[in-house]
C-alpha cells in the first residue's frame, strides 16, 4: 500500500490549504508530482499558493474557495473538481479550528460551526470520495487531521477535543474498513505546531509556554503525515515528546486524568 502514483488527470484535494499544516501538505504533495486542489475560505491565499506550486513543481494547482461549515457548499465541491477535469486520488481532510475557555463562556454558534468543520465536513467529503477511491485502479489515500487533543477530553477545550476524538475514531475505523481495498487512511495527531491555529483558538499564550522540544514545525508535521500515509499507518504522531503525552492521554483512566487536567491545564 502506498500513496497513489501522481498523474496528469489526478489530484490531491487539500482542505485548509490557505495556511499552516494544509499549505505544507500541499507543498510536499506537489513536490512529489501531485496536482493539487487547494480549498479554504481565503481565495487570495489559495491563489498565491497555487501560483507558487505551479512555478516550483510544474503541477496543476487549482484554488477553490469554499466555506466547509456550509454543508451545501461542501457537497458541491466534488462537482466543482470534476468540472476541472480532475479525479481526486488523495483526500486530505485538514481544515479545522479550535477554541479555548470554559464551555459556558464560549460562543455556541462558533462551537457548533467547529463541529461542522472538524467533523461533518470530514464525513461529507469522505462520503463523497471513499466509494470512488475503492473503485479506482491504483487505489487512493485519505488523511484525517485529528490532534493529540483528540486522545482525551480536555476541560477548557471541550468542543475542540471532542471534535478531534471524533476525527481520530472515524479515521481509525475507516483505516480498518479500507486497508484491504487499496485505500490508505491515516489519522494525523500533532501536538503544538506553529501555525495560525493558536492565535485563532485563543491559545497563543499557552503555546508560548510549550518548550521548543515539544513543538514541531508545520513542514515537519506535513512530512511525517505524508510518510505515515505512504505506509498506511493508522495513527501518525509527529515528534517524540508528543508521542509520550498522547500515550498517557489515551491510556490513563479518566478518573485520574480529568481532575489533574482541571487543575493544571492552562485555560
Ligand atoms: N497547529 C496545531 O498546534 C495543531 C495541533 C493539532 C491539530 N491541528 C489541526 O491541524 C489542522 C490545520 O490547522 P493549522 O494548525 O494548520 O491551523 P491554521 O494555520 O489556522 O489553518 C487552518 C486552515 O483551515 C481553514 N479553515 C478554517 N475554517 C474554515 C472553513 N470554515 N472552511 C474552509 N476552511 C477553513 C483555514 O483557511 P481559511 O481561514 O482561509 O478558511 C486554514 O487554511 C486543523 O484541523 C487543526 O485542528 C493543529
Report the CATH number that the domain containing residue 75 is assigned in CATH: 3.40.50.720
Question: Is the C-beta atom of 249 inside 6 A of ligand 1?
Answer: no
All three cell numbers of 138, joined, read 491504483
CB atoms within 10 A of CB 8: 11
Cα R_g (the chain), whole angstroms: 18
Distance CA 260, CA 267 (A): 13
The count of C-alpha atoms lying within 13 angstroms of the C-alpha of 204, restricted to the half-sphere facing its C-beta, is 4
What is the model's pLDDT at position 157? 96
* Total domain count, the chain: 1
Q: Is residue 3 included in any domain, yes or no?
A: no
Question: Is the C-beta atom of 98 inside 6 A of ligand 1?
Answer: yes
Q: What is the pLDDT along the chain (267 residues), one digit of tens a residue?
A: 589 999 999 999 999 999 999 999 999 999 999 999 999 999 999 999 999 999 999 999 999 999 999 999 999 999 999 999 999 999 999 999 999 999 999 999 999 999 999 999 999 999 999 999 999 999 999 999 999 999 999 999 999 999 999 999 999 999 999 999 999 999 999 999 999 999 999 999 989 889 888 999 999 999 999 999 999 999 999 999 999 889 889 999 999 999 998 887 755
265 is catalytic: no
Question: Is the C-beta atom of 96 inside 6 A of ligand 1?
Answer: yes
Q: In what order do the strands lie in the sheet with 61-65?
A: 61-65, 35-40, 10-15, 87-93, 140-145, 183-188, 235-236
Q: Hey, whose CA ends up nearest to atom 46 of ligand 1?
A: 96
Question: Is the C-beta atom of 129 inside 6 A of ligand 1?
Answer: no
Q: What phi and psi values does residue 64 have, to the nearest 5 degrees?
A: -125, 110
Q: Which domain holds residue 75?
A: 10-264
Closest atom, ligand 1, to C-alpha of 15: 34
Q: Is residue 50 included in any domain, yes or no?
A: yes
Q: Is residue 194 included in any domain, yes or no?
A: yes
Closest atom, ligand 1, to C-alpha of 160: 47
Q: Is residue 44 included in any domain, yes or no?
A: yes
Question: Is the C-beta atom of 19 inside 6 A of ligand 1?
Answer: yes
256 CA → ligand 1 middle, Å: 31
Q: Is residue 237 included in any domain, yes or no?
A: yes
Mutate to test the pocket of ligand 1, among 15, 40, 67, 164 (most ligand atoms within 8 A of CB): 40
Amino acid at each position: 500500500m502506498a500513496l497513489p502514483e501522481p498523474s496528469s488527470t489526478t489530484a490531491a484535494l487539500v482542505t485548509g490549504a490557505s495556511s499552516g499544516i494544509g499549505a505544507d501538505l500541499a507543498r510536499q504533495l506537489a513536490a512529489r508530482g501531485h496536482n493539487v486542489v487547494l480549498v479554504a475560505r481565503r481565495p487570495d491565499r489559495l491563489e498565491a499558493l497555487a501560483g507558487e506550486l505551479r512555478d516550483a513543481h510544474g503541477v496543476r494547482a487549482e484554488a477553490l474557495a469554499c466555506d466547509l461549515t456550509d454543508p451545501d457548499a461542501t457537497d458541491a465541491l466534488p462537482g466543482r473538481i470534476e468540472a476541472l477535469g480532475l479525479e481526486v486520488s488523495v483526500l486530505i481532510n485538514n481544515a479545522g479550528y479550535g477554541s479555548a475557555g470554559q464551555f459556558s463562556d464560549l460562543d455556541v454558534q462558533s462551537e457548533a460551526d467547529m463541529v461542522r468543520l472538524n467533523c461533518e465536513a470530514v464525513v461529507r467529503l469522505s462520503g463523497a470520495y471513499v466509494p470512488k477511491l475503492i473503485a479506482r485502479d491504483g487505489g487512493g489515500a485519505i488523511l484525517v487531521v485529528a490532534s493529540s487533543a483528540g486522545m482525551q477530553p480536555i476541560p477548557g477545550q471541550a468542543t475542540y477535543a471532542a471534535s478531534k476524538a471524533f476525527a481520530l475514531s472515524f479515521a481509525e475505523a475507516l483505516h480498518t474498513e479500507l486497508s484491504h481495498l487499496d485505500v490508505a487512511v491515516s489519522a494525523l495527531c500533532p501536538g503544538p505546531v506553529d501555525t495560525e491555529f493558536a492565535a485563532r483558538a485563543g491559545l497563543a499564550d499557552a503555546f508560548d509556554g510549550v518548550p521548543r522540544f515539544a513543538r514541531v514545525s508545520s513542514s515537519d508535521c506535513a512530512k511525517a503525515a505524508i510518510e505515515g500515509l505512504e505506509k498506511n499507518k493508522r495513527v501518525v504522531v509527529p515528534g517524540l515528546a508528543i508521542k509520550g503525552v498522547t500515550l498517557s492521554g489515551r491510556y490513563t483512566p479518566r478518573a485520574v486524568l480529568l481532575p489533574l487536567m482541571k487543575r493544571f491545564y492552562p485555560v
